[in-house]
Amino acid sequence: MTARVAVLLFPGSNCEQDVLHAFGCLGVRAEYVWHHATDLGGFDAVVLPGGFSYGDSLRTGAIAAFSPVMGAVRAFAAEGGPVLGICNGFQILCEAGLLPGALRWNAGLKFICRPVDLRVETAATPFTRGAEVGQVLRIPINHFQGNYYGPPELLAELIATDRVAFRYCDNPNGSEGAIAGVISAGRNVLGMMPHPERAVDPSVGGTDGAVILTSLLDSLVAPAGPGSARQ
């Protein structure tokens, strides 16, 4: 089986080539899908790449969340299809209500662009099943608004339901609970601020991100057992 991976393009996306290249390193030719598309039929996975959709006007991801393609993403996710939002993609998924919480300005109002250490908090997702809980991944961040916020009751729910995917080891941006990535209740939508696609090709920045994309591709071929969202 050859996996078909859609990489959504919004006006102002700028990490789509990184995502395409990373999947290429793993032997999969991902495909761009313009934000006017209304159907994601035929695709096995969907990636919302990083960037500055709509110039971050109003709030990061706020306008892209109303793109026509987001209706298709909603339907795709509702059927259990895996959706990965990276950086601005995470912000869009939060604004669209597909993931809970919000991303605020970084504490200290600094744009941060550097590799950080992430701790894998759960392996019970299609994106982390090849990793081990407690494993530390070195993956770059590149954002101004990655300071995760959820009200206390949401944070408690995320912990109780094993939906914190990653935490920062040194919390560079002030996120509540040092949260770097969260998974949906259906466990098939992951949002994360760090850029795993920039840590796949060994010639640029290490390969710690490969476990996330490889896990995703493996999950398409051999879905996990009971409890997995997509059979």
Partner 1 sequence: MPKEGIADPQGQTIERALPSLGFPAMHEVRVGKRIELVVDAADSAAAEASVKAACTRFLANPVIEDFSVQVVPGAGGEVPA
Binding site residues, partner 1, CB under 8 A: 58-59, 62, 66, 94-95, 100-102, 104-109, 147, 149-151, 174
CB of 172 to partner 1, least distance (A): 13
Q: What tokens were used for 178?
A: 């040092």
Least spacing, CB of residue 63 vs partner 1, in Å: 9
Shortest separation between residue 89's beta carbon and partner 1, angstroms:
17
d(CA 108, CA 213) in angstroms, rounded, equals 31
157 as an active site residue: the answer is: no
Token pair 């600094």 is found at 110
d(CA 148, CA 135): 21
CA–CA distance from 148 to each of 68, 132, 165, 223 (Å)? 26, 23, 13, 30
| Pairing status of strand 112-120 against strand 45-48 | unpaired
User: Closer to partner 1 at the Cβ: 174 or 206?
Assistant: 174
Token output for 104 = 């605020």
Q: How far is the CB of 99 from partner 1 (least distance, A)?
A: 11
Nearer residue to partner 1 within complex by CB, 19 or 87: 87
Rank residues 18 and 95 by Cβ distance to partner 1 and give the closer one.
Answer: 95
129/143 with CB nearer partner 1? 143
Burial 61-85 (b: 16+ CB within 10 A, else e): bbbbbebebbebbeebbeebbbbbb
Give the residue among 182, 117, 169, 116 at the shortest CA–CA distance from 143: 116
- Whether residue 63 contacts residue 96, with contact meaning beta carbons closer than 8 Å, is answered with no
| Interatomic CA distance for residues 22 and 33, integer angstroms | 17
- 201, amino acid identity: D
Residue 195 is among the residues annotated as catalytic for this protein:
yes
Query: Whose Cβ is closer to partner 1: residue 109's or residue 160's?
Result: 109
The residue from 15, 35, 87, 121 that is catalytic is: 87
Least distance (Å) between residue 141 CB and partner 1:
16
For residues 99 and 97, give the distance between their C-alpha atoms in angstroms, rounded to a whole number: 5
Task: Please identify every residue annotated as catalytic.
Answer: 87, 195, 197
